[in-house]
Chains A and B, each alone.
Chain A
């Protein structure tokens, strides 16, 4: 079973520029998550999709961050404009989408963003 794919793996931009990250979840997984992992911290949930609908985006800074999952498969996360404090690893995870809290989340390798 192929894992969660993310691209690019690394991105360096200057503040106020825009950037987009792409995620391809495990085939058949209905639920997709985007996390932000700042150096030295645990992952923090940004947004959760169930198929192509948003379940929770309460922690997404909507003035600059946006995410979509148009066909219920791939997803993109965009930051516009970027700030210095957005430097982090952006992790995508997917799960089968069962209603159980034990629905295992599988993580991709992440995209390391550096904002200069």
Chain B
């Protein structure tokens, strides 16, 4: 299973700051790139997703930026809040509807 590389492993930001998490993928067959949010003791939940035919998708404070030529995509969380403190996973998916997940980023937003 080809990898999705995610960085940083952990991230600490102040309330109101911008959180940025980066991912790079290898499999050019991926055509769906979701971000999942996971709180302790819970399963991952879909946060936002993008298809490679667009370069950016915004939903509220969350934005995905996508660079197809570089095979990279990133999640930006604007005006980060303590409630955003969680682990974030990027993933790549294709026609088989299987997801390959990154290793996760533990985000801590300080009050």
| Known A42-B89, A43-B44: A105·B32 in contact at CB below 8 Å | no
User: Residues of A contacting B102 with CB < 8 Å?
Assistant: 42
User: Residues of B contacting A4 with CB < 8 Å?
Assistant: 43
CB A60 to nearest CB in B, in angstroms, measures 13
User: Residues of A contacting B46 with CB < 8 Å?
Assistant: 104-106
The tally of residues in B whose CB lies under 8 Å from a CB in A reads 29
A-contact 0/1 string along B74-107, CB 8 Å cutoff: 0000000000000001010111111111111000
B-contact 0/1 string along A74-97, CB 8 Å cutoff: 000000000000000001010100
CB B106 to nearest CB in A, in angstroms, measures 9
Complex CA distance for A100 and B97, rounded to whole angstroms: 7
Decide if B43 touches A48 in the complex (CB within 8 Å): no
Contact partner of B103 (CB less than 8 A), chosen from A42, A45, A99, A103, is A42
Contact partner of A41 (CB less than 8 A), chosen from B31, B45, B104, is B104
Complex CA distance for A64 and B46, rounded to whole angstroms: 31
CB B13 to nearest CB in A, in angstroms, measures 20
Main secondary structure on A side of the interface with B? loop
Contact partner of A43 (CB less than 8 A), chosen from B42, B97, B101, is B101
B41 contacts chain A at the CB level, 8 A cutoff: yes
Chain B interface residues (CB < 8 Å from chain A):
1, 4, 6, 31-32, 34, 36, 41-46, 49, 51, 89, 91, 93-104
Please, could you name 20 A-B residue pairs with CB atoms under 8 Å apart, sorted by A?
A31-B97, A33-B98, A40-B104, A41-B103, A41-B104, A43-B89, A43-B99, A45-B1, A48-B97, A56-B96, A91-B43, A91-B44, A93-B43, A95-B97, A101-B31, A101-B93, A103-B97, A104-B34, A104-B49, A107-B36
